[in-house]
């Protein structure tokens, strides 16, 4: 039991630190499970998704008052209503694709070789987007056009492949469509709320038969650790990318992906 608690803490740290930065939290969790012997045939993959809700709760706690203002202003403030509709439009593609392809994603795409290749490829994309001389037209995530919100949601579907990164796909898509770094990164936070909450609820429904009291305790531990780590990341990420861009995350992806491929090639 002590070893299981240690595993839950480590996985909670990995989830919380990586969920909202463009490095692929799911990819990191699966690699940690593989190379550190944390995988569990009946439960490991489900646990990796369920503890994401701790990170989502951290985000909701930070954005609570802004969410409340959107809620109370939905029927009286056209700007608030338009933004809520925009987030729902961006969420729609992932909701449809995720529901239709859930079993395929879990059984086929959760592959360590693919994850490592996607980490490296995604790192190259982040370096490329940082080098582009983009001329941002949008500096506020609540002011994107409705077609732009929907287009970002389509791009986010690429993150169904572990290793791509939900936040990374959202940020790159938003920047190519005219957003600056900060507003693109912040919209990835807004879109995470329905996307990851939906993924949590759907995976819980699909996997509830595997749950047990012991598993529930481990989920609670991973959830709490994930919450604390994610809270710290959300508080610091926007300011960091506005000043420094995405190079740190790009090179991290390349290094982790390369090490992972080397370990796999050596039979680790």
User: pLDDT of 226-236, one tens digit each?
Assistant: 999 999 999 99
Tokens 């861009």 sit on residue:
245
Domain boundaries along the sequence of the chain = 2-265
Distances (CA, A) of 154 to 18, 34, 97, 176: 22, 30, 10, 13
pTM above 0.95, yes or no: no
Q: What is the pLDDT along the chain (268 residues), one digit of tens a residue?
A: 788 788 889 989 999 999 999 999 989 988 988 887 766 555 555 676 678 888 989 999 999 999 999 989 888 999 999 999 999 999 999 999 988 887 787 777 788 999 999 999 999 999 999 999 999 999 999 999 999 999 999 999 999 999 999 999 999 999 999 999 999 999 999 999 998 888 777 777 766 655 555 567 888 888 899 999 999 999 999 999 999 999 999 999 999 999 999 999 987 6
Class of residue 37 by CB neighbours under 10 A (exposed 0-12, middle 13-18, buried 19+): exposed
Q: pLDDT digit string (tens) for 197-238?
A: 887 777 777 666 555 555 678 888 888 999 999 999 999 999
């Amino acid at each position: 039991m002590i070893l299981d608690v240690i595993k839950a803490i480590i996985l909670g740290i990995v989830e919380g630190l990586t969920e909202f930065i463009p490095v692929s939290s799911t990819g990191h969790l699966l690699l940690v499970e593989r190379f550190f012997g944390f995988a569990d045939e009946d439960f490991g993959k489900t646990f990796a998704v369920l503890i994401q809700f701790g990170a989502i709760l951290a985000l909701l706690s930070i954005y609570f008052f802004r969410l409340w203002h959107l809620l109370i202003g939905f029927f009286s403030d056209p700007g608030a209503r338009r933004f809520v509709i925009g987030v729902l439009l961006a969420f729609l593609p992932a909701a449809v694709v995720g529901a239709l392809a859930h079993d395929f994603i879990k059984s086929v795409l959760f592959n360590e070789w693919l994850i490592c290749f996607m980490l490296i490829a995604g790192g190259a994309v982040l370096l490329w987007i940082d080098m582009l001389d983009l001329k941002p037209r949008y500096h506020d995530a609540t002011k994107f056009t409705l077609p732009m919100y929907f287009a970002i949601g389509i791009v986010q579907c690429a993150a169904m492949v572990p290793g791509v990164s939900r936040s990374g796909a959202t940020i790159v898509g938003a920047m190519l469509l005219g957003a600056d770094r900060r507003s693109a990164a912040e919209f990835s936070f807004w879109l995470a709320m329905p996307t990851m909450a939906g993924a949590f609820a759907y995976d819980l429904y699909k996997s509830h038969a595997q749950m047990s009291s012991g598993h529930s305790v481990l989920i609670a531990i991973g959830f709490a650790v994930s919450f604390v780590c994610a809270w710290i990341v959300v508080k610091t990420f926007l300011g960091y990318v506005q000043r420094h861009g995405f190079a740190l995350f790009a090179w991290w992806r390349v290094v982790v992906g390369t090490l992972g491929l080397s370990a796999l090639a050596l039979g680790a």
